[in-house]
Structures are given as C-alpha cells and as structure tokens.
Amino acid sequence: MIGRAIAGIIVMSACVSGLAAQAPEPRLDAYDAAVKSYASGGYLTAAVVPLQAFTRKHFDAAVERLVARKDHRFAEAAAMFQLEIGLGVVGLSSAAAAGHFDLGQKLLRSTQPRLHADATQDQLTFWATWYGVVGSAFLSVNDPPRARPWIEKALDLRPQSAPLLTLLGAAEELDAASWNPALWTTTSQKTRAMMQRNRGLASAAQNYRTALQSDPSYALAEIRLGRVQFLRRDLEEARATLERAQPRAEEPGHRYLAALFLGAVYQEQDNLAAARAAYERALASVPESQTAAVALGYVELITGRPDRAQALAQAFAATTADDRHWWAYKNGGLDEAGLAWLRERIRQ
C-alpha cells in the first residue's frame, strides 16, 4: 500500500497544485509506457513517475487514445493502472480517487461486448472484481455513499456473488454505524437516528442472508450477520449464527472475528467462562490484536483474576499491536484478495 500511496501522491500533487502547467507539454505515449511498465510487473511508483506533468486533461486524452485503439487486453491493463493510482490517493481525497476510477471504468467498458451474454466467465469475473475492489476502496475510508454504486455495478454482472453481496451488506452496516443515537441531543433526533440505524442494520442482515443463500459456506457473511444480530440485541440468534460460522472460518482474520464477536455475545449473556475461551481463540488467531487482549483482560479482571489480567497486559505491552482485521471490520477494508487476483490476471 505504501508504494501505491506514494505514486498517488505524485500524480495528485501534479494535478492539483498546478505545477504541471509549468512543465513542457507531456507526450501522451508516456502513458502507454507507464501502463506497460506496470503490467510487466514493475513497481507502480516507478511506472507513474514519468506522468508527473500529467493533468486531468492529459489523462483524459491518453485514455481516449487508448480506447480508440481497441486493444482490449491493453485497455484492461490500463484500467488496472488507473485502479492502482486511485487506491493510492483514496485516503487523501475520495474525489481525486473517483476521477481515476472513472477513467478506469471508461477503459473497462471499452472491452465489454454489447451483450453480457457474449462475455466469457473470466471476463465477467474480472469486471465484477474490478468494480468490487473500487467499492471496497471507498469502504476502506468509511465512505459508503461512494462505495455503494460501484458494488451495485459489480452485482449487476455477478448478482449471485456471495463476496459482493457481503460487501454490499458491509456498506449498509457502516452506514448504519454513522447513525449513533448517542451523538444527538434531542429526543426526536435520537429517535430518528435509532430508526435509521435499525433500518441500515436490517438491510445489511438481508444482504448477508442473501449471500449465504448463494453460498452457504461463505463464512464471512455468516460472521457479519451474527455481529449485526448482536448489535440489534438479538443475542440468542447472534450466538447460534456465530457458533455455526466459527468452524467454517478458514482464514485467520475470519476465525479471529468469529471468536471475538462470539466472546462479546457470551459476555453479554454472563457466560464468562465461554467468553474467556472465545477471546483466547481470537488472540490465538491474531496474537497482535489489542482488541482481543483487552477483552480477555477485562474478563479475567471481573472474574477475580487480576494477576492474569496484569500478566496479559504486560505480555501484550512487549509486542507490537496490529489490529488491522478489527479496523477493517469497524471502518471498512480494501478487498485485498480481489486486488491480488486482478494483479495476477493482468500480469500473466
């Protein structure tokens, strides 16, 4: 991510600061060379350096020129190039990232047949994954309104995709989190916020259920469904859902979330022994998790084991905290798996 961020900063600063206007008029074929460098496996940072003098006008012209060539394979590589640049700047400016994503979409659409029925499954998967990664990029900066249209475009291509349906549910869940009644002052404002929050959580839950209907083995949808049920105070449903999901979770991050969320349910139900075991499983999956360490320490403390709580705190203080799985859930996260698949396909 650091390389993409540096590259994005270079491009965005050139476009926004106006310094590019002072440089000689850039050659549009520099764009083609940059895409070739990226597609051949070169570092994005190095590939984008020759484009420092490019303004939005130059990017538009270079993309128009490439689209006119009707070289679909190269257009796909250029769409990935624009995606990577957008990912680099999204944390600094959603609007700047959206400009790069829009250019990537233009390139991508130039490769699509008039009828999706004429596309291969590989093409459909590539386009849908590309749109999904863009949506997840906006979720990663907690911007559900910008994320949702891109995820819906992906679902237009792959309507039964459990990961995409789960991504849409995550957008609804993040949106619901912004309606926190505690942030409002009047009774009417608190009531409205609660209604909006419940509506968003219900919509998220429906998307997770639809994802599970499409693929009952997709553990992340079930894990997130269990968390939504917990947030809605449906504790028995949440417990049953998370207990089903836990043995299905194969990725360490998913096992961590399932155990962490299940521990919270047990704790709320005053089943502290089960909560302790769940938090221990979460910490075993992600030993650097501060969230799991704090939760486990609290359970040890309230069950009369302050020595264990203190030992846990001291042991954790000696390590480097890394709670990326929790924050990816809490604030939204980039679809790293989808991005890795897109890169591999382009660089074959």
pLDDT digits over 185-243, tens only? Answer: 899 999 999 999 999 999 999 999 999 999 999 999 999 999 999 999 999 999 999 99
pLDDT by residue (tens digit) across 268-324? Answer: 999 999 999 999 999 999 999 999 999 999 999 999 999 989 988 888 777 777 888
Determine the average pLDDT of the residues in 38-62: 91
Q: Retrieve residue 189's tokens.
A: 């404002």
Instruction: Decide which of 118 and 336 is more confident.
Output: 336
Question: How far is CA 312 from its chain centroid?
Answer: 31
pTM over 0.85: yes
Q: List alpha helices for the chain, DSSP H.
A: 2-17, 29-39, 44-48, 56-69, 72-89, 94-109, 121-140, 144-157, 162-177, 187-214, 219-231, 235-245, 252-268, 272-285, 290-302, 306-317, 324-331, 336-346
* Three-class SS state of 269: coil
114 pLDDT band, cuts 50/70/90, is low
Distance between CA atoms of 231 and 262, rounded to whole angstroms?
12
Q: What is the set of domains in the chain, with CATH numbers? A: 1-111 (no CATH), 117-216 (1.25.40)
Question: How far is CA 339 from its chain centroid?
Answer: 10
Give me the percent of the chain exceeding a pLDDT of 90: 74
Residues 138, 147 contacting (CB under 8 angstroms): yes
Find where tokens 């484009």 sit: 51
Burial class of residue 108 (count of CB atoms within 10 Å of its CB; 0-12, 13-18, 19+): buried
Residues 78, 63 contacting (CB under 8 angstroms): yes
